[in-house]
Structure 1
Amino acid sequence: MKGLLRIEGHDIVVTNPDKPLWPEVGITKAMYLQKLTALSPFLLRYTSNRLLTTIRYPHGAAGESFYQKNAPQPRPSFVQTAVHEKINYVLLNGLPELLWLGNLAALEFHPSLHAAGSTLPCEWMIDLDPTLPEEPRIMEAASLVGELLRSLGIQSVPKTSGATGVQIIVPIEAGLTFEELRSAGQFLAQYVSQKHPELFTVERLKKHRGNKIYFDYLQHYSGRTLAAPYTPRARPGATVSTPLTWEEVNRNVSPSSYHLLNIEERLQEKGDLLSLLPPQPLAPLLGHLRKKQT
């Protein structure tokens, strides 16, 4: 069984529209494409002109999956790509591309932290990664990092990863480097892990972390990816990576609270929390770190 979508002048064939993708919540491929359409004004802000990695689940979220970096073949003429380190990545710039990938059962969208053709980061992403499968302290950890940033004059937006973790996003002025962001991240990571050694760790090897939350400051490199704001995740309940308010973090909201069945209502109510925050002043912190290194 096939269907046909006409989007912005492009025809997109939809195969098996009734295929269950998240059967436990009743989401079929046709419903998924509807949800992607609703998410697109928000999601595409953070994927446009970036190197895209998708995770595809041909048999639904509970089935086997594979990461796809090289652009799938065959692909429509409207899909733009960019080569980086010999990989030809999709540039997820518009709704036709998004629905084409959705029809291929791409359930997660992980863009690079930099634009195609650039070596500079688009934002500062602080990644808090729990070691435990269920981590009741993740919002407490996020709150502590947010408070530390505020003490340094830096505002930020927390977001659920859509899985178990939290990322804290700081908009930045153009021109900062990945090396500078790693330096700032290392400073924060060491500070909170020394002040709260029962909660945070900078240990990279999971088997050596115990039950602590990993403060990953090493994520900032060219070509690396993180789950995009507003990407669905192939998790039970069809969770969505969702920006939060700090009030929600302090109320210990669950990372599973936001999903494909309620995200539209949330976005209508709150809009894009990330877009409301201007670039933050990192120069004082970076200047302090440079002085310490000399």
Structure 2
Amino acid sequence: MGKAAEEVDVDGTKVRLTNRDKVYFPKLGKDGTKGKLFDYYLSVAEPMVALLRDRPVHLQRFPDGIDGEEIYQKRVPQKHPDYVETCTVTFPSGRTADALKVTHASAIAWAAQMGSITLHPWQVRCPDTEHPDELRIDLDPQPGTGFADASSVAVDVLKPLLDELGLIGYPKTSGGRGVHVFLRIKTDWDFIDVRRAGIALAREVERRAPDAVTTSWWKEERGKRIFIDYNQNARDRTFASPYSARKTPIATVSTPLTWDELRTADPDDYTISSVPEFVAGRPDPWADIDRKPQSVKKLLDMVKADEERGLGDLPYPPSYPKMPGEPPRVQPSKMVAANWDEDGNPVNS
């Protein structure tokens, strides 16, 4: 199957690597092995650790490669190397878990050794796991649209809006067809506040480009538009981290870009084979993201303005407990007013 286990020195920490030659990305053959993925993560560990430092992280694992079983692991196994640190997070259900906490490049190397293709960080930093320091914007292409549509919305609609608000966003490819934009924010607000701020921002983008953008949670209403998934700012919702590989045949990478790069980008150009050289050949466009955390007060003012227009909260994902002020979680085509009370709860059932 592969060479014998080896010990790799990762910035002074010994990390055990097994089955280096095991193929994870069959289409790539010897360029898609576990060892290639491991080496890729070492090559981008410095900027990756800076962005993930002290964040709780979930692991999307494929121990037998992307065609094998997928394990979405939220808890670090009880038996783990001494250098692996953890952080306790609380899920919407109230249950808790000790998630991987990234403090050193060895944490990322260990994740790769565990068969992790993608790292999924929370939008908080330990030990304060109740107050996000990131507002995340997910531009998600719907059927009939693609990456070019998402990047156009990001560059031509979202970016000018952020400029007007005095906010700085940092874009990246999702590693798939979508675009992600992160804002570093102050930790003065909780998950509910930040999610509502994200909704207000998304609604304004939708108002400016209604034929290209939708905030509808219900797929039947989205049409051929870019969906801004506002619920990615809810508790326990995670994104592929910057520099994470993705479960695609060519091992694409969720890659931080400049706004100018995003305009003409092709997401398939960024892979575990190409990104190390790409990153080494230019300044890091996200290097100053932590320099000045931003206020979301203007976005919360937009929330109030929307409420005055009669626009309240939007539905949460189905796994979440019913939230105060949330509309009914039933798709519009199945909504019969007589069957629901004013709080969105079924009656006569």
Q: Which runs of 5+ in 2 are unaligned?
A: 91-95, 309-349
Change (3 A) 1:265 1:152: same
Q: Which amino acid aligns with 2:245?
A: P
Which residue is equivalent to 1:244?
257
Q: Which amino acid aligns with 2:97?
A: I
8 Å CA contact 1:126, 1:169 repeated in 2:
yes
Which residue is equivalent to 2:114?
104
Which residue is equivalent to 2:300?
286
Which residue is equivalent to 1:114?
124
Deviations 1:256-286, CA, capped at 9 Å, x for gaps: 2211111112212233312234434543443
Q: Distance in 1 between matches of 2:187 and 2:242?
A: 20
- Pair 1:91 & 2:101 matched: yes
More divergent stretch after superposition (110-119 vs 276-285) = 276-285
Which residue is equivalent to 1:14?
17
Q: Distance in 1 between matches of 2:280 and 2:50?
A: 16
- Pair 1:29 & 2:34 matched: yes
Pairing of 1:270-285 with structure 2 (within 5 A): 270-277=282-289, 278-285=292-299
8 Å CA contact 1:114, 1:223 repeated in 2:
no
Q: Distance in 2 between matches of 1:31 and 1:292?
A: 49
Which residue is equivalent to 1:148?
161
- Pair 1:171 & 2:181 matched: no
Runs of 4+ in 1 over 6 A off after TM superposition: none
TM-score by length of 1: 0.90
Deviation at 1:35, TM superposition (A): 1.0
Q: Which amino acid aligns with 1:102?
A: A
8 Å CA contact 1:153, 1:281 repeated in 2:
no
Change (3 A) 1:8 1:281: closer
Q: Which amino acid aligns with 1:89?
A: A
Which residue is equivalent to 1:265?
277
Q: Which runs of 5+ in 1 are unaligned?
A: none
Deviation at 1:219, TM superposition (A): 1.9
8 Å CA contact 1:124, 1:172 repeated in 2:
yes
Q: Distance in 1 between matches of 2:36 and 2:126?
A: 31
Which residue is equivalent to 1:197?
210
Which residue is equivalent to 2:311?
none
Which residue is equivalent to 2:224?
211
Q: Secondary structure at the residue paired with 2:277?
A: helix
Change (3 A) 1:11 1:224: same
More divergent stretch after superposition (230-239 vs 274-283) = 274-283
- Higher-Rg member (1/2): 2
The higher-RCO structure (CA 8 Å, 6+ apart) is 1
Q: Secondary structure at the residue paired with 1:139?
A: helix
Pairing of 1:34-53 with structure 2 (within 5 A): 34-53=39-58
Q: Distance in 2 between matches of 1:292 and 1:63?
A: 46
Which residue is equivalent to 1:161?
174
Deviation at 1:229, TM superposition (A): 1.0
8 Å CA contact 1:53, 1:111 repeated in 2:
yes
8 Å CA contact 2:198, 2:233 repeated in 1:
no
Deviations 1:125-171, CA, capped at 9 Å, x for gaps: 11111123861411111121112211222221211111221111122
Change (3 A) 1:88 1:288: closer
Q: Which amino acid aligns with 2:239?
A: L
8 Å CA contact 1:46, 1:111 repeated in 2:
no
Q: Distance in 2 between matches of 1:205 and 1:28?
A: 39
Deviation at 1:37, TM superposition (A): 0.7
Q: Quick one: which of 119, 127, 130 aligns to 2:138? A: 127
Q: Distance in 2 between matches of 1:241 and 1:9?
A: 27
TM-score by length of 2: 0.77
8 Å CA contact 2:194, 2:233 repeated in 1:
yes
Q: Distance in 2 between matches of 1:148 and 1:120?
A: 25
Deviations 1:208-254, CA, capped at 9 Å, x for gaps: 42322111222223332111111111212111111111112233x12
Q: Distance in 2 between matches of 1:181 and 1:8?
A: 36
